[in-house]
Structure 1
């Protein structure tokens, strides 16, 4: 099927998932929508997150998508069950893939999770991890300073390192932790800095690769994969300022063919 896969996120973080989707599924056209105007979702109420997520979903449904990837941990935690129930297309999130990757990685069953306030408050990762392996020890920490920093384009350097060191200090007191889940798709943009701060003994897990693999499997199960080599350009939309969005997109896709992307502004109020 030549229809595109829709990908949504609260801002630019979901581009890390898109990058992996493009790598693993090169024949699949993608439409990405980042709600940069209302980011971050972490401090917002569950009702707000649900409202904003449904607005993004309706926008993409208008683009005739064949599948939806919720590339936002907070939105996944609060909306995936409703979306899977209400939509007649496959819907996957990033929490279960991230949990599976962490279970494969840990050697001593001590897993840390960092995310937004909303994701940590929901307990979604603890639930997903313990559903797979009941004896897992989970240490969770909200890092509300990360998303605004990433949305400003501060991805490395002294400022980023200082913010990361301050934020992660409480979780690093747990010396048994051997695996750390980046429970927000913005956080992989800080992965090198996070790895530097936590040290080489801790394996840092991003759900992007596992999410792309689950997307591939889902396409095959539903027999909706695209087998045509001639596909339209990927479409990227943002609800907020395009200049910063384009700047961050260029950084993420610096090793890719940037010509295969079109970037536009999206107005969710006039769907």
Structure 2
């Protein structure tokens, strides 16, 4: 048994989709969430800049002495995970391997698509992981650079002609490839589940990176006997690097519940 918290970070609000699933599956755990809202989105940054930001995010969360760190950010998971794991002794889980494992389990024709930020697609991390797990699978990746800012600004619902048009344009090349499984390689994208699902149709299975990483964390805690006891006084704390009002206002959409906790702003450049 281990009552230390679980640290979770993302470039902004997207990681809250992972937090939502983690909280449902692990109700006795304490979570510390950091959203780097002052520097969102991460998707178009260079690898050097991403590593600098990720190291600062990790350093802040380590101040709470967590038992596990969750990179609820597809961009950091694809570009910095291995480096961060080498530099830190505590377990660090990213979204790539868990998402790929679920996609391989779901596909029937071996043709898997992935949408994510430009940095995630450029890294080639999903292709490498899928081909390591199954050399015969066909993988098709497509960057969607405008989806994160659209979601962050609340443009995520069916009937919104702007987001529906954008999603249609982004998904057209993947539909043409005949995929039967689509990985949502960014934790913002589950908020677009209905829009993406409508465009891809019922024959394509969607895989959420946030839900996949929650499964991986649950398994790690069980295998390592690090679960918090059922009598644990669990709670959630939220921190951001920019103003708190918009985060607090929009967080309920990502968490699928009202955010009752106080959100605190920190100076991430101190870390």
Q: TM-score, normalised by structure 1?
A: 0.94
Alignment size in residue pairs = 268
Question: Deviation above 4 Å: which 4+ runs of structure 1?
Answer: none
- What is the match of residue 225 of structure 1? 227
Residue-by-residue CA offset, 1:133-177 (whole Å, 9 max, x unaligned): 110001110000101111112221222212211222222222x21
Aligned mates of 2:104, 2:232 — CA distance in 1: 38
Aligned mates of 2:83, 2:68 — CA distance in 1: 15
- 1:13 Cα deviation after fit: 0.8
Q: Which range moves more in the overlay, 35-44 or 50-59? A: 35-44
Contact 2:13 2:152 in 1 (8 A): yes
Is 2:156 the counterpart of 1:161? no
Contact 1:101 1:207 in 2 (8 A): no
- 1:113 Cα deviation after fit: 0.7
Partner SS state of residue 31, structure 1:
strand
Residue-by-residue CA offset, 1:20-41 (whole Å, 9 max, x unaligned): 1001111010011111111111
Residue-by-residue CA offset, 1:206-235 (whole Å, 9 max, x unaligned): 122221121112112333211143424201
1:1-271 maps to which residues of 2 (within 5 A)? 1-156=2-157, 157-174=160-177, 176-255=178-257, 258-259=259-260, 261-271=261-271
Aligned mates of 2:235, 2:43 — CA distance in 1: 31
CA RMSD of aligned residues (A): 1.5
Aligned mates of 1:177, 1:141 — CA distance in 2: 13
Aligned mates of 1:39, 1:173 — CA distance in 2: 31
In structure 1, runs of 5+ residues without a counterpart are none
Aligned mates of 1:162, 1:246 — CA distance in 2: 28
Aligned mates of 2:207, 2:215 — CA distance in 1: 15
Aligned mates of 1:241, 1:168 — CA distance in 2: 33
Contact 1:152 1:244 in 2 (8 A): no
In structure 2, runs of 5+ residues without a counterpart are none
